[in-house]
Chain A
């Protein structure tokens, strides 16, 4: 079955602390994975694509096929990082995204 799991509903850290938002997937083929972010009262925004291996706003995510994971990391959290983060799978490049349940990141001052 095709599935995306974000085990943490809420992750609360202090400013300056490292952050890791977990994402695990279930997919038999070669996965196409994304991280999206939704700030309060704003639209869903694309944060990262695994194929581009980029770093956006200090966030990185590495695809680990052995562990079927695509965790999102940032070494030093900022208060403005507080938002809802969704991991999504694009099965077979169809564009029909399968989303995880989302993790709310709360960065405390």
Chain B
């Protein structure tokens, strides 16, 4: 497995501000992803963080709202921009390990509350 660290673990944010979440992995990984878990809901994939190129976003998510960086194979950031109360969620970083990256592990999540 891998050790996946996320910062911050929790934050309360003002409406209209932006917050950047960091994800650090203790080994180089090819696959890195960001998910959102809204209150009482399941996990939804936001985007794939691609090293050295722009992230690939899923339907319903756009770069202006969720800019992602991936400067190397161990680190990524997700920014939640111009936040509104609807953005209150847990944001999770995940990585793919093993043969063909077929085992996916998750960070502890970053719990954001927008007031």
Residues of A bordering B, CB below 8 Å: 32, 34, 36, 42-46, 49, 51, 86, 88, 90, 93, 95-102
Q: Within the complex, what minimum Cβ distance (angstroms) separates A53 from chain B? A: 14
Q: Which of B58, B96, B103, B108 contacts A49 (CB under 8 A)?
A: B103
A-B contact count (CB 8 A): 54
Inter-chain contact A97/B103, CB cutoff 8 Å: no
Cβ contacts under 8 Å, A101 to chain B: 41-42
Provide a sorted-by-A list of 30 A–B residue pairs whose CB atoms are within 8 angstroms.
Answer: A42-B108, A44-B92, A46-B1, A46-B104, A46-B105, A49-B103, A86-B42, A88-B104, A90-B102, A90-B104, A93-B100, A93-B101, A95-B33, A95-B94, A95-B96, A95-B101, A95-B102, A95-B104, A96-B33, A96-B45, A96-B48, A97-B33, A97-B43, A97-B45, A97-B94, A97-B104, A98-B45, A99-B42, A99-B44, A100-B42
Identify B103's interface contact among A46, A96, A100, CB under 8 A: A46
Q: CA of A49 to CA of B97 in the docked complex: distance in angstroms?
A: 13
Q: Smallest Cβ distance from A85 to chain B, in angstroms?
A: 11
3 smallest CB-CB distances across A and B, nearest first, come from A95-B96, A43-B108, A95-B31
Contacts of B45 in A (CB 8 A): 96-98
Interface size class of B (residues with CB under 8 A): 20 to 34
B14 to chain A, nearest CB (A): 25
Contacts of B109 in A (CB 8 A): 43-44
Please state if B102 and A86 are interface contacts (CB–CB under 8 Å): no
Q: Mark B73-115, 1 if CB is under 8 A from A, else 0.
A: 0000000000000000000101010001111111111000000
- Residues on B with C-beta less than 8 A from A43 are 106-109
- Between B35, B41, B58, B102, the greatest number of chain A beta carbons within 10 A of the residue's beta carbon is seen for B102
